[in-house]
Amino acid sequence: MNLLLATPPVPPFDPLGLPAPTWVFEFLLALTMLLHLLFMNMTLGGAIVATVLDVLTLVRRGNHNLTVRVIWQMLPVTFSFTITTGVAPLLFVQVLYGQFFYTANIFLGFVWFALVPLLIVAFYLTYFLVYRLSSALSNRLGRWDRSPGKRLPFSAACALLFFTVSLILTSNHMLSIQPDQWAQGGEWVQNRLAVTPTTTHVRLGHNDLGAVVVCGLWLAGVGWWRRWRQVDPPEVAARITTTGLWVALPVMAVTAVFGLTFFFMLPGEVRGGLLRPGVYPVLWWLGLLALVGQIFHALMALQRPQEFRWFAGLAGCAVVTLVGMVAAREAVRLGYLARGELFSREVWHQNVNTQLSPLILFVAMLVITLGTVGWLLWVSARARPAAGSRAV
């Protein structure tokens, strides 16, 4: 009997194979993961930032009531889009890595299932708080606009719930890429977070701090938008922008330190995968380069908050950095799975059975979706409150 699981049993690849060439799924996984990260980071980071800003207001380190309200007004929509955009990568992960993904889910068991009630409670808590705040969009006057003490327990609870969800997802991902961790202490893992704690915590820290950065950048953009649309007086809108950038810049540095630590904690062969020539490593390096661009544009936006180009550049660089992070995530996954020859991309290539007409229909549908959602955003953005609505 083996003492260690040198070769853990991995379920076989699905007999129905891949219904399109491998690169199609890898591209779709990366694309939809990028979309998911844009919204998820705002939601997770938003709850954390709102909590911290409420604490700062309570201890009289500035008045952040307006910024907190702006965050909470966005959260229900970003939360919905976090869920919606999260479904697609979940789908494509199952196509490519189902045998690892399902196994990790089952080992986490009830911890994995807990995602659902945790998210439901977090979503209703979000709405509970939102309906106690004013909203020009909904023509509603709130009672907790200037009550950080009342908001704090709810925003902290939301932040805690989101953090727990991110912990579960990170643990699930780490367990799915490390089959050698499936058995611990002579037993299969069952109903618990069971991954090398240090690596997971560092990765989790990197992800969650990254969410705070993205939230800061969102806020900076929203501040610019409110100034341009004259929703707020220029000095008030500039305060939202400044707060966002002052959140993003220092946390960006800490996030980078966590990222670097995680990089050096990776096993040698996995780390090597990020340094070899290839699409994922190149995208990762571009992402790191864009980080410098982010810092430059953020500093310029702080000085000239009325100029659009700095915000556009900042958003562009942030997206490139996120693309780099998605690429690094996939490279690390492949690096881990390649250890012990548990997985090879050959498995995919040998099992491609392209369903061409459904694939074409999907691509057409994706274009229609982007067009329709774009149109909906456009008409919503152009709309102005009706005459006589309550100004808040």
Site for other proteins in 342-361 (CB under 8 A): 351, 353-359, 361
**Does residue 386 interact with other proteins by CB under 8 A?**
yes
Minimum CB separation from other proteins for residue 346, in Å?
17
| 235 vs 346, beta carbon nearer other proteins | 346
**Does residue 306 interact with other proteins by CB under 8 A?**
no
CB 189 within 8 A of CB 183: yes
The Cα 162–Cα 120 span in angstroms is 11
Dihedral sign computed on CA atoms, order 338, 340, 343, 344: positive
Binding mask 173-202 for other proteins (x = CB under 8 A): ---------xx-xxxx-x------------
**Does residue 299 interact with other proteins by CB under 8 A?**
no
CB 164 within 8 A of CB 193: no
Binding residues with other proteins: total (CB under 8 A): 85
Q: If you search the block for the tokens 């060439």, which residue do you land on?
A: 21
The Cα 317–Cα 337 span in angstroms is 30
The Cα 288–Cα 285 span in angstroms is 5
Number of other residues whose CB lies within 10 A of the CB of residue 201: 15
Q: Which stretch binds other proteins (CB under 8 A): 14-22, 241-249, 299-307, 313-321?
A: 14-22
| 260 vs 376, beta carbon nearer other proteins | 376
What single-letter amino acid sits at 145? D
Q: Which stretch binds other proteins (CB under 8 A): 7-15, 148-156, 157-165, 213-221?
A: 7-15
What single-letter amino acid sits at 96? L
Give residues 60-79 in contact with other proteins (rule: CB under 8 A): 76-77
Give residues 23-42 in contact with other proteins (rule: CB under 8 A): 28
**Alpha helices per DSSP H over 274-385:** 279-303, 308-338, 346-349, 356-382
Binding residue for other proteins (CB under 8 A) from 31, 34, 83, 392? 83
**Does residue 390 interact with other proteins by CB under 8 A?**
no
**Does residue 292 interact with other proteins by CB under 8 A?**
no
Binding residue for other proteins (CB under 8 A) from 277, 341, 346, 380? 380
| 174 vs 270, beta carbon nearer other proteins | 174
Mutual orientation of helices 148-177 and 22-58 as an angle, nearest 10°?
150
**Does residue 153 interact with other proteins by CB under 8 A?**
no
DSSP 158-195: HHHHHHHHHHHHHHHHHHHH-GGGSEETTEE--SS--S
Binding residue for other proteins (CB under 8 A) from 91, 253, 289, 292? 91
CB 264 within 8 A of CB 203: no
Give residues 101-140 in contact with other proteins (rule: CB under 8 A): 101-103, 105-107, 109, 112-113, 115-116, 119-120, 123-124, 127, 137-139
Minimum CB separation from other proteins for residue 28, in Å?
8
